[in-house]
Structure 1
Amino acid sequence: MAEAHRRTSRFRLPVDKLAPHLMEAFERLDEAAEKVSLPLPLLELVRLRVSQINGCAYCVDSHNQDAREAEIPERTIAALPVWRESPFFSDQERVALDVAEALTTMNQAPVTDELWARAAEHFTKTELAELTWNVAIINVWNQLAGGARPWLIS
């Protein structure tokens, strides 16, 4: 993930220090998830959108910066909360965001076969697996940050 994940001044609960073996294992998983065939701008849109849904201020801040570094236009970043109504997203990005939202909010409704069928029109099975892993990982980062409450230095 982005360098911002490591630029913190204090934690409410320093999960990285209290359970370093788990943090190290999770960071290795996070690094492995970076080595995918999906385009980085698409992944950053997904990470930012999931962080918005989960209400993780730290991750939203971090992934806003990452989205800019991935050269996603400002107006696209600004339109992300209303992506369904916005003209700034490709069909592939729309399906990825739909999948990300469905996986993130699956406590509210099941992830449908229809959604997976639509996703299969835009992604290979491997890409769908990579997308699913990346959605799961950003959800965990959001949960860790929600408990730890890290604060950015810069």
Structure 2
Amino acid sequence: MEVRLNYMNTNPGAFQTMLKLEGFIKTSGLDASLYELIKIRASQINGCAFCISMHTQDARKMGETEQRIYLLNAWREAPFYTDKERVVLELTEAVTRISEQGVPQELYERVRKHVDEVEYVTIIMAINTINSWNRIAISTGMFPEEV
């Protein structure tokens, strides 16, 4: 496999814009472990091998268990996620697949039982950010390196 182009060097302004989004999420108060789950789940849906590899490694470094990482694509059937994590993962799937059914009101209401309006918007921005990273990585031909 070969990278199509190095987008960071080709368009540094675009790369800096993405880093600003990432920086906003990291300083927003959003739980870092939850953000990694969002990143992994969206990357699984989008088929971004580069991001799946990166974020599963990051999650491990943060102390995430192998079992929770391995079962993330089947989170509905696994008892290892909190109620908040479950609704955020469901929201991640809905936003990532927004063209299929949008974000149903019922899902919004369930998420809001766990987060206030500010955190809701932060979570939406987190989901949008990883979806953007996925699209950049896939479009430019990025692939994971063997560890």
Q: TM-score range by the shorter chain?
A: over 0.9
Cα deviation for residue 150 of structure 1 reads 2.0
Give the superposed CA RMSD.
1.3
Alignment of 1:3-152 (within 5 A): 11-152=3-144
Alpha-carbon distance in structure 2 between the residues aligned to 1:25 and 1:42: 23
Alpha-carbon distance in structure 2 between the residues aligned to 1:63 and 1:94: 18
Cα deviation for residue 132 of structure 1 reads 0.4
Alpha-carbon distance in structure 2 between the residues aligned to 1:93 and 1:63: 17
Q: Does the 8 Å CA contact 1:44/1:70 hold for their aligned counterparts?
A: no
Cα deviation for residue 151 of structure 1 reads 3.5
Opposite residue 26 of structure 2, the aligned amino acid is: E
Task: Please give the secondary structure, in 2, of the residue aligned with 1:114.
Answer: helix
Identity of aligned residues (%): 34
Per-residue Cα deviation, 1:111-153 (whole angstroms, up to 9, x for no partner): 1111010000001111111100000000000000001122445
Cα deviation for residue 55 of structure 1 reads 0.1
Alpha-carbon distance in structure 2 between the residues aligned to 1:96 and 1:67: 17
Alpha-carbon distance in structure 1 between the residues aligned to 2:30 and 2:80: 19
Opposite residue 79 of structure 1, the aligned amino acid is: L
Opposite residue 130 of structure 2, the aligned amino acid is: I
Task: Please give the secondary structure, in 2, of the residue aligned with 1:87.
Answer: coil
**TM-score under structure 2 length normalisation:** 0.93
Q: Runs of 5+ in structure 2 lacking a partner?
A: none
Alpha-carbon distance in structure 2 between the residues aligned to 1:152 and 1:139: 17
Q: Does the 8 Å CA contact 1:46/1:135 hold for their aligned counterparts?
A: yes
Cα deviation for residue 11 of structure 1 reads 2.7
Opposite residue 76 of structure 2, the aligned amino acid is: R
- Matched residues, number: 145
Cα deviation for residue 87 of structure 1 reads 0.4
Alpha-carbon distance in structure 1 between the residues aligned to 2:79 and 2:42: 20
